[in-house]
Amino acid sequence: MKIKVCGMRVEENIAELIKLLPNYIGFIFYEKSPRFVGEELDPEFIRNIPQDISKVGVFVNANPGFILETVKKYDLQYAQLHGQEMPDMCRILRQKGINIIKAFSIDNSFNFAMLNNYAPHCDLFLFDTKGDQPGGNGVPFDWSLLKKYDHQKPFLIGGGISLDNIHEVVSLSVSLPIYGIDVNSQFEVEPGNKDLKKLEQLFDIVRIKQTQEAQA
C-alpha cells in the first residue's frame, strides 16, 4: 500500500518527511485551502526532492496553463485534479506528458459509472469524502461504498484516515484494489505542518502489515 502525504508547505517539515520515504508528497495550489503553498515553497528545494518520491500538485478547477506552468516550475510528477474537471481536461493534460490523479468526492449518491469516461485519461483515482471543502475535511466516508468499484484503474483512499482507523483501511485492502492512502489533516500540528511522530507510527503500521502479508 502506497502512502501519500498531502498538504505540505514548510521546508523543514518536508525535509523531515522525506526521511520517512513516502511514495508521494502533495502540495496544494488552491488559494482557498488553508494549506495553500503560496510563495513559501522554494522551487529549487522541491525540485531536489529524491526522485523515488513522486511530487504531486493539487489543483481545483485551475486552468491548464497554470497547471502546466506549476508542474514545470516545481518538477512535479503528477497533477491531482480535485474539482469538477471534465474528462477532456484530464486528456489534454495527459497528452502534455503529465500523470493525472483525478479525485472524486464520495457519498451515498456517488455514481461509479461516471468513472468510465475518466479511466482512459487518468493514471490514478482518488476517492475522498464529500464535504464543505474539496479536500481536507478530516472525516472518512463509508468505505463499504467502494465495493461498487469495478474498474482496473488503481485508486487511493483519502478523507479522515488516522491512526485510529488505519488498521481498518489495511484490512480493506485484502478485498478491495486499494493502491494507497492519502493522509493530511489527521496528521497535522497545524494546517500545512505535519506531526512527524504520528506519521512515523502510520508508516510503521502500513509497512509492517505489508511485510506480514508478503511472508504469508
- Residue-wise pLDDT for 152-210, tens only, equals 899 999 999 999 999 999 888 888 889 999 999 999 999 999 999 999 999 999 988 66
Listed by start position, the domains of the chain span 2-215
pLDDT at 53: 98
pLDDT at 129: 87
CA-to-CA separations, 216 to 40, 131, 167, 211, in angstroms, rounded: 45, 39, 18, 9
pLDDT at 92: 96
Give the number of other Cβ atoms within 10 Å of residue 155's Cβ.
24
Q: Is the pLDDT of residue 136 over 80?
A: no
Least confident of 8-22, 138-152, 154-168: 138-152
Q: Is the pLDDT of residue 135 over 90?
A: no
Q: Between 135 and 60, whose confidence is greater?
A: 60
Q: Is the pLDDT of residue 137 over 80?
A: no
Q: What does the alpha-carbon distance between residue 199 and residue 184 come to, in Å, rounded to a whole number?
A: 10
CATH among 3.20.20.70, 2.60.120.560, 1.20.1280.50, 3.30.590.20 for 2-215: 3.20.20.70
Phi, psi of 141 (to 5 degrees): -95, 180
Least confident of 1-5, 149-153, 196-200, 212-216: 212-216
Tens-digit pLDDT profile for residues 55-111: 999 999 999 999 999 999 999 999 999 999 999 999 999 999 999 999 999 989 999
Q: What does the alpha-carbon distance between residue 182 and residue 139 come to, in Å, rounded to a whole number?
A: 13
Which grid cell is 111? 455514481
Where would I find the H helices in the chain? Answer: 11-18, 43-47, 64-74, 87-95, 115-118, 166-172, 196-215
- β-pairing, 178-183 vs 2-5, is parallel
Q: What does the alpha-carbon distance between residue 159 and residue 131 come to, in Å, rounded to a whole number?
A: 10
Question: Do residues 101 and 79 touch, judged by C-beta distance below 8 A?
Answer: yes
Q: What does the alpha-carbon distance between residue 86 and residue 81 come to, in Å, rounded to a whole number?
A: 10
Q: What does the alpha-carbon distance between residue 130 and residue 104 come to, in Å, rounded to a whole number?
A: 8
Which grid cell is 108? 451515498
Q: Which residues contact 202 (CB under 8 A, 6 or more apart)?
A: 3, 163, 166, 183, 187
Q: What does the alpha-carbon distance between residue 186 and residue 90 come to, in Å, rounded to a whole number?
A: 29
pLDDT at 39: 84
- β-pairing, 193-194 vs 188-190, is antiparallel
Tens-digit pLDDT profile for residues 21-34: 999 999 999 999 99
